[in-house]
Structure 1
Amino acid sequence: MEWKTYYLDMMLIPLGFFMTIGYHVWLWHKTRSEPFSTTIGINAHARRFWVPSMLKDIEKKNILVAQSLRNLIMGSTLMATTSILLSAGLAAIISSTYSVKKPVEDVLYGAHSEFSVALKYATLLTIFLFSFFCHTLSIRFLNQLSLLICTPQDVLSMVTPDYLGEILERGTTLNTVGNRIFYSALPLMLWIFGPVLVFLCSLAMLLVFYNLDIVCGSGKAKTILNDESNYV
């Protein structure tokens, strides 16, 4: 294993990976310290009032509840199906005989030995399997919520709005984690063509995530949500 063949892979791949991990650690800290400055914090705050609001008039809102939970379950099912299909395809590629034509200059495009190719596909397979695991757990919690939310409160005293809200939060959190793990596999898919593309794709995805996760005018959103919470 020559250094000139693998040095781009050894530098750019971990750098892109740790940038993604570092961004999500920073996002988690910002969501905990300033929840109304991120979409994740605002959505989590709104979900706390969704279950009590639906339970107040469940007889009239049962169709709305069923449709909302169905949409969440369908989204998780789609992502879980996609992840397991990609995992099956990658497993088939790994188990079969596979050869890659080496580029003209390994120094520019990275390593394409049999070991590096196997490592690339094994990494992708692991990520897709973790995404599948998170989405299947999300479906489990959302299905549980869809059954319990219509249960009469006087029949099962332990099925409280707080308990149902916790189930909803677990299901949606696992859905979000599964999606982020799935998205992290997209730059690694470009690893097949070289480490430079992985690094550039990681930078581009961080910019996209930042624009989607950070909310401008968080003070106004906080005021609106606090006013709404007073009426719940």
Structure 2
Amino acid sequence: MGFEKKDLDVVLVPSGLLIMFGYHLFLLYRYLHQPHTTVMGFENYNKRLWVQAIMQGERRDIGSCVSVISSNITAATYLSSVSLTLCSVIGAWISNNTNNFFESGLVYGDTDSTTVSIKYVSLLLFFLIAFSCFVQSARHFVHANYLISTPSLSVPLKRVEVAVIRGGDFWSAGIRALHFALNLLFWFFGPIPMFVCSIFMVLFLHYLDSSSTPLIEEFDGRQVVKKVEQRLSEMATAIHMPSHQN
């Protein structure tokens, strides 16, 4: 038996998925062991500084902080609604037994009804994962909103940091699931577009995920004021010393 066009799905589709999963495993390793080299690690570091500044600042500035968290909740809720809507559309499409474009001869690859069903189920799975991640992201941001707006000052700083960072992590996971769904969407047009999309998406994500920006150094404002006052006193002493010598 020779190599047929339907065999491309067996070779190119697993290869494309392997490239995507391999890149994200490499990204996860960098995120856990070298977080400063990734955009997510850089953003988490800035979020920690933001939480520390908010919790140590004046309570009258809480309104602006709550609005920042609320905007993240709104974005996560919107994308979760979009993901759920797409899941419903795909489910309705699967229940439709009529032939469509993706089963026609225009697609260079396996157009068998079983393969098409696998395409729909795979796409549906990643949209469901995205929906779940965005819901969890909104949940953690809502919890952070409660903690930040608590009138009591006894709320541990670590709890707020964990809630904000976990909300961002679930948000990133939901976005990644949408990237996988976009990749699988190209599979409907054949295994070759899907494989090409995998390569270009990995290159594009590597560019977006890499960070060479140095981390912001933490400092204490009171120490800065003390150093400035000390420097001014030294300058004043240096100015008065020549006059005393004369």
The TM-score with structure 2 as length reference comes to 0.83
Q: Alpha-carbon deviations, 1:85-134, whole Å to 9, x = none?
A: 11000000001213144316x7xx11111111111011101110110001
CA distance in 2, matches of 1:231, 1:35: 24
CA distance in 2, matches of 1:135, 1:14: 27
RMSD of aligned alpha carbons: 1.8
2:220 equivalent to 1:231:
yes
CA distance in 2, matches of 1:98, 1:190: 21
Q: CA deviation at 1:58?
A: 4.3
Q: Report the AA paired with residue 136 of structure 1.
A: V
Correspondence list, 1:97-136, <5 A: 97-100=97-100, 101-103=103-105, 109-136=108-135
Q: CA deviation at 1:165?
A: 0.8
Q: State the number of aligned residues.
A: 218
Correspondence list, 1:61-140, <5 A: 61-100=61-100, 101-103=103-105, 109-140=108-139
Correspondence list, 1:66-215, <5 A: 66-100=66-100, 101-103=103-105, 109-154=108-153, 157=154, 159-215=155-211
Q: CA deviation at 1:186?
A: 0.4
CA distance in 2, matches of 1:58, 1:214: 35
CA distance in 2, matches of 1:57, 1:45: 18
Moved more, 110-119 or 43-52: 43-52
Runs ≥4 residues deviating over 3 A: none
CA distance in 1, matches of 2:88, 2:3: 33
Question: Mind listing any 5+ residue stretches in structure 2 that lack a counterpart?
Answer: 222-246
Q: Report the AA paired with residue 133 of structure 1.
A: S
Partner SS for 2:4 = helix
Q: Report the AA paired with residue 209 of structure 1.
A: L
Partner SS for 2:151 = coil
Q: CA deviation at 1:204?
A: 1.1
CA distance in 1, matches of 2:41, 2:199: 24
Larger Rg: 2
Q: CA deviation at 1:3?
A: 6.6
2:13 equivalent to 1:13:
yes
CA distance in 2, matches of 1:161, 1:78: 29
The TM-score with structure 1 as length reference comes to 0.88
> Does the CA-based 8 Å contact 1:79-1:179 persist in structure 2?
no
Identical counterparts, % of pairs:
27
Moved more, 51-60 or 168-177: 51-60
CA distance in 2, matches of 1:137, 1:24: 20
Q: CA deviation at 1:190?
A: 1.2
Question: Mind listing any 5+ residue stretches in structure 1 that lack a counterpart?
Answer: none
> Does the CA-based 8 Å contact 1:153-1:160 persist in structure 2?
no
Q: Report the AA paired with residue 79 of structure 2.
A: M
CA distance in 1, matches of 2:58, 2:71: 18
